[in-house]
Structure 1
Amino acid sequence: MQIEIKIDEKCKEPKIIVMTDKMTDEVNAIIKRLSDEQPQVIAGFRDDVVEVLEPSEIYRVFAESGKVFAETNHGEYALRLRLYEAEQRLDSKTFVRISNSDIINLKKVKSFDLSFVGTICITLSNGTVTYVSRRSVAKIKQLLGM
C-alpha cells in the first residue's frame, strides 16, 4: 500500500482519496476506520464514581460473570459496554482479542509462554496471567511473527 500526502494551501478541508483496482477487505477496513468518528472514550465505574479510562493505562478488558471489566494501573473498573463494543472503541493495533472473554493490550505484555500445548500463557506487566483460546492461537502466533 502506498500513502501519499499533498499539501495545498487552497484546500480548506482535508480530503482523502482511495485508489484501488478492486474492493478488498483491506480497503473496506480503511474506509470504515476513516469514517468512524465516534469518540473513543471508555468510562469505568467503581464505588459509584465514573472515571474516564485512558486506553494506554488499560492492561486488559475482560468479561466475568456476565459483566465487563477493565483492568488498569489503578485497579478494576466495571464497564457498561459489551465486550465487542469495548473492542470497537479500542485501537485494533494495540488491543487484541485472545478469547471470547478477554482483550489484552499488547503494549502491557511481559511474556508469552508457548510451552503449553494448544494455548499460549500470557503474563502482563502487572503480573496478571491469562490464556489464549485455541481459536486465537494462530492469530497471536501471526502477530508474533511465528
Structure 2
Amino acid sequence: MKINVEIDEALERLEVLIRAKEWNEEVSLLMERLQERRRSYFSGVNDDTRHIFKPEEILYLYTENKTVMARTEDGRYRMKERLYELEKELDPEHFVRLSKSAIANLDALQKFEASFNGTLCVYFKNGEKEYVSRKYVSEIRNKLEGKG
C-alpha cells in the first residue's frame, strides 16, 4: 500500500481519497476504519462517584453479575454500556477480546500461560489475570504477531 498526504490550504475540510484497482477486503477495512468514531474519554462509577478516564488507562473490561466493569490502575468502575458497545469504541490495534465476558488492553498484558484445557491465561502488568477462551486465542496471536 502506498500512502500520500497532500496539504492544500484552499480546502475547508479534510478529504480522503482511496485509489485501488478493485474493491477488495483491504479497501473495505480502510473504509470501516475511516468511518469509525472513537471516544476520547470513558466514565464509570465507583462509590457513587463518576470517574473519567482515557481508553489507554483501561487495563481490561469484564462482566461481573451482569454488569460491565472497567479495571484501571486506580480501581474498578461500573460502566453503563454493554461490553459489545464499548468494544466498538475501542481501538482494535490496542484492545482484544479475551472471552465473551472480557476485553483486554494489549499494552497492559505481561505474559501468557497455556492452560490444560486449551485456553490461555493472561497475566496483566498489575498482577491480575484473566482467561482467554479457545475461540479468541488465534485472534490474540494474530494481533501480537502484527497480522490482525
The verdict on a shared fold, with TM-score over 0.5 as the criterion, is yes
Q: So what's the TM-score if we normalise by structure 1?
A: 0.89
Once residues 39 and 108 of structure 1 are traced to their aligned partners in structure 2, the CA distance between those partners, rounded to angstroms, is 19
Contact 2:123/2:129 (8 A) holds in 1: yes
Distance 2:37 2:121 in 1: 35
- TM-score after normalising by structure 2: 0.88
Tell whether the 8 Å contact from 1:122 to 1:130 is kept in structure 2 after alignment.
Answer: yes
Partner amino acid, structure 2, of 1:20: A
Q: Distance in 2 between matches of 1:115 and 1:125?
A: 19
**Corresponding pairs, count:** 146
Aligned counterpart, 1:93: 93
- Matched residue SS, 1:136: helix
User: Is the aligned partner of 1:58 residue 2:48?
Assistant: no
Aligned-pair Cα RMSD in Å: 1.9
TM superposition shift of 1:142: 2.1
Regions of 4+ moved over 4 Å: none
Q: For residue 56 of structure 1, report the CA deviation from its aligned partner.
A: 1.5
Q: Percent same amino acid among aligned pairs?
A: 35
Superposition pairs for residues 27-106 of structure 1, below 5 Å? Answer: 27-37=27-37, 39-106=39-106
Report which stretch shifted further, 43-52 or 92-101.
43-52
Whether contact under 8 Å (2:59, 2:70) holds in the other structure is yes
Question: Which amino acid letter does the alignment assign opposite residue 97 of structure 1?
Answer: R
AA partner of residue 139 (structure 1)? E
SS in structure 2 of the partner of residue 69 of structure 1: strand
For residues 131 and 59 of structure 1, the distance between their equivalents in structure 2, rounded to whole angstroms, comes to: 14
